[in-house]
Amino acid sequence: MLRFFIRRALLAVLTLIAISITTFALFFAGPADPASIMCGTKICDQRTHDRINQVLELDKPITTQYVQYMKGIFVGRQIGDIECPAPCLGVSFRTREPVLNILGRAAPVTISIVLGAAVIYLIVGVSLGMLSAIRRGTILDRIAVGFSLTFASMQIFFLGLLLVYIFVYGLGLLPRPAYYPISEDPLKWAGGMLVPWITLGLINSASYARFSRAQMLETLSEDYVRTAWAKGASRRRVHLKHAFRAAVTPIVTLAGIDLGLQIGGLVITESTFSMLGMGRQAVLAVLNLNLPIIMATVLISAVAVVIANVVVDMLYAVIDPRVRLS
């Protein structure tokens, strides 16, 4: 198993290196001129323009700039008169602040939404899908299918605003969505995150319910499940040990990818509830042509996806012994 984990870890490192090179190349292939952006709205003379390029080391070859960028991630670097400690992901063209400081303030918002919603859609979606498959053709199955169709057809901004209108301002049952640091008041933090969690959880649980139901139905028709029935195994043993364990493997893959993608992809959710997370920061960076923040967001999202896939591979080896043997 150790060799299996080492191979996956090395593959992840190579993937991250390839992503960093590609992202850096696209960064410099873009039409925006960093020096012109830092000059502001006023017309920049050529002397000031050249001075900015020199300070930011943008006048050096791209390969040298890439080496300096990667060096900053591990040991930090000096960018002009700004000290950027490790891990340094560059300095904002607009505010001259280290990018990691900006994204560091936004990351807790995004992580809070992602993890809380994941608990809801994994528990609700997987449980509903599994029960629907076991009780195929019953009223419970029809309710589960109707639930999936209903919430799968909804958009986050519609359901989120609907929940706010009814349960926050209408009935007053839920607190207004807002982010509060968990270190200050955990209860206030959970209350402010409750509506975003429910919104994202219900919409994502619809797809997980359908996927879980399909996987469970396919597993229940396998030969080894019929053999377990023929040997007189109990219903609980057949459903949980044989069918569920085999059906949960692709669900783990889907969950890992979703968690990784959502780290940098909660733009609609954060905008709906006016929360300044990494998704909204990336949108603002695109609008302001703040290229270091865009590049850092892409790299962080890529790292999250790669790490999620490595964790999924390791869970595979735990769940399914055939993976270890292969």
Average pLDDT value for the chain: 81
Asked whether 99 and 91 are in contact (CB, 8 A), the reply is yes
pTM of the model: 0.82
Does the structure show a pLDDT above 90 at 197? yes
Burial class from Cβ neighbours inside 10 Å (0-12, 13-18, 19+) for residue 274 reads exposed
Q: Are 35 and 44 in contact (CB under 8 A)?
A: yes
Instruction: Tell me what the mean pLDDT of segment 286-300 comes to.
Output: 83
Q: In which region does residue 293 sit, left (phi positive, over 0), alpha (psi from -120 to 50) or beta (all else)?
A: alpha
Q: Tell me the Ramachandran region of residue 274: left when phi exceeds 0, alpha when psi lies from -120 to 50, beta otherwise.
A: left
Q: Where are the domains of the chain?
A: 35-88, 101-325
Cα–Cα distance for residue pair 13/125, rounded to 1 Å: 33
- Say which amino acid occupies 42: K
Q: What is the pLDDT of residues 235-283, one digit of tens each?
A: 777 777 777 777 777 788 888 888 877 877 788 888 888 888 888 888 8
Give the residue from 212, 313, 302 showing the smallest Cα distance to 253: 313
CATH 3.65.10.10 fits 101-325, yes or no: no
> Across residues 187-201, what is the average pLDDT?
91
Beta-bridged to residue 84, according to DSSP, are: 77
Question: Each residue of 89-148: pLDDT tens digit?
Answer: 888 877 778 888 888 888 899 999 999 999 998 898 888 888 888 888 788 888 888 888
